[in-house]
Amino acid sequence: MRNRSVLAALSLAAASLVAALPAPAAAADAAGTTGSAAARECPQLSKKLDWYGHNRAKLQRMIDERGLCGGHKSGTAGKDGDRTHRPVAAFDWDNTVTKNDTTDITLAWALAHDKILQPRRWGDTSKWLTPAAERALTKACGRSVPVGKPLPTSTDTDCTDEIFQIRAEAQTMDGHPAFGGTWNHRRTVPEYAWVAQLFAGHTPKEVSAYAEAGRKESLAAPVGSEMKVGTHTVPAYVRYYPQQKDLIRTLQRAGFDVYIVSAGVEYAAEVWSKGVGIDADHTIAIRSILRDGRITTRNEGCGGAPASEGETIPYIDGKRCWINQDIYGIKGRDAWKQQDPAHRIALGGGDADTDVTFVRDATGAHLVLNRNKDEVMCRAYDNEDGRWIVNPMFIEPLPQKPEPYPCATAAYINEDGALSSVRRYNGSVVPDQRDSVFG
């Protein structure tokens, strides 16, 4: 486990610097303009980058209120009683800060370069892998490669197809469910955890190198380009969203601690997050247990849960838990609970249902990129506290979703996987919502 105790010291030092600064200037007005020369010195979002509607002004107002220019104390960061009063912003990664999925890019690069190692048996890679999936993988990938040696996925299309299909669709190429059994659907999803487990036997340094190689290729690929992974056609390119990069930079200049919280592989997420100025200690993702310096199929637990084979990862409620535990130092079962405003993030940004809990926890602004995901869009359009900000994707935005989101009946993901009504804090049901912010 990475030693994050240095964060409290760094935050304390930053707080001392903040205390030494001149008195805060006036905040921006509601339209995002400034009313004085002093206010113009507050860190400003670039006006050269397009946001939907008045979203830039809304974000600027939150930055002015909660950052150096506002002097607010909400969003306290720091562990073990170290009250540094630095506001915190947290962002999902894939399709929130970047266009396209960097976890898939890392896996695709590994498959194209024979970096997945033959397991003793495929059932060892996930506790939820079904017998049908194990048979399909064994048939497709064969048993001729010795255990622990690289599978020839660069040339073996059948093996590559089975692995990628299970990751992408949670089913085998012939349509059988790839995962079975029970798990808490608000704390994990087996196909997400499985990507980290596929790198068992490698060192963190090796996986970081695979991620860096995939990063270099995907950033160089033209926007809109595609590639083949086996017979699957997937996006070949990734781009950092300029608007999000600017937002993160402005938040940091305004005194915010900015974190990434991702359901991807930690060693890959760390490689990508440095591209927006976020270091490894501010990047939270699936954190594998190491044995003799090599990745295993187990990952660290959260909120009092022990290390496991993927039972608690940064996914839906799991993202709240990891934020509470890693950023605020909240121990045990309490890490799964929503905290008081002083121990909650000021800004949360996401794009999918996996982000809905921590984005909703934010006290200043809830930023959502519209990818037509039911639960998070129900929350965003219902706008319960008036602080939700919806933006189309900045690159290749989706058109309007033709039918309403089923908020009143089947948008909330229960722990057993069943779908039900989305409810507000007061218990009332969120009515179905029409898609109104789109490309």
Listing DSSP states for 65-83 in one string gives HHSTTT----S---STT--
Q: What is the CATH code for 5-99+240-398? A: 3.40.50.1000
Residue percentage of the chain with pLDDT more than 90: 86
In sequence order, what are the residues at sequence separation of 6 or more whose Cβ sits closer than 8 angstroms to the Cβ of residue 59? 45, 51, 247, 347, 365, 367, 389
Predicted pLDDT of residue 40: 54
Mean pLDDT (the chain, rounded): 91
CB contact at 8 A, 346 and 362: yes
Predicted pLDDT of residue 151: 98
| DSSP per-residue codes, 167-179 | HHHSB-TTS-BSB
Q: Alpha-carbon dihedral of residues 178, 184, 188, 191, nearest 10 degrees?
A: 0
Taking the C-alpha atoms of residue 263 and residue 170, their distance in angstroms, rounded to an integer, is: 16
Least confident residue range of 77-86, 202-211, 339-348? 77-86
pLDDT digits (tens, 9 = 90+) for 169-194: 999 999 999 999 999 999 999 999 99
In DSSP terms, 291 is beta-bridged to 294
pTM: 0.89
Residue 81 has pLDDT above 90, yes or no: no
More confident: 76 or 432: 432
pLDDT digits (tens, 9 = 90+) for 374-426: 999 999 999 999 999 999 999 999 999 999 999 999 999 999 999 999 999 99
Q: What is the 3-state secondary structure (H, E, C) of 362-408?
A: CCCEEEEEECCCHHHHHHHHHCCCCCEEEEECCCCCCCCCCCCECCC
Domain boundaries, the chain: 5-99+240-398, 102-235
Work out the pLDDT band at 11, boundaries 50, 70, 90: very low
Residues written for the chain:
439
- CB neighbourhood size of 18 (10 A): 16
Residue 305 has pLDDT above 70, yes or no: yes
pLDDT digits (tens, 9 = 90+) for 112-170: 999 999 999 999 999 999 999 999 999 999 999 999 999 999 999 999 999 999 999 99
Work out the pLDDT band at 72, boundaries 50, 70, 90: low
Mean pLDDT of 333-349: 98
More confident: 282 or 83: 282
Tokens 């496991």 -> residue: 308
Predicted pLDDT of residue 84: 52
Predicted pLDDT of residue 42: 87
Residue 7 has pLDDT above 60, yes or no: no
pLDDT digits (tens, 9 = 90+) for 265-288: 999 999 999 999 999 999 999 999
- Residue 394 identity (one-letter amino acid): F
CB contact at 8 A, 151 and 145: yes
Tokens 């990508």 -> residue: 272
Predicted pLDDT of residue 74: 46
pLDDT digits (tens, 9 = 90+) for 398-408: 999 999 999 99
| DSSP per-residue codes, 317-329 | HHHHHHHHHHTT-
- Residue 356 identity (one-letter amino acid): V
Work out the pLDDT band at 68, boundaries 50, 70, 90: confident
Predicted pLDDT of residue 71: 65
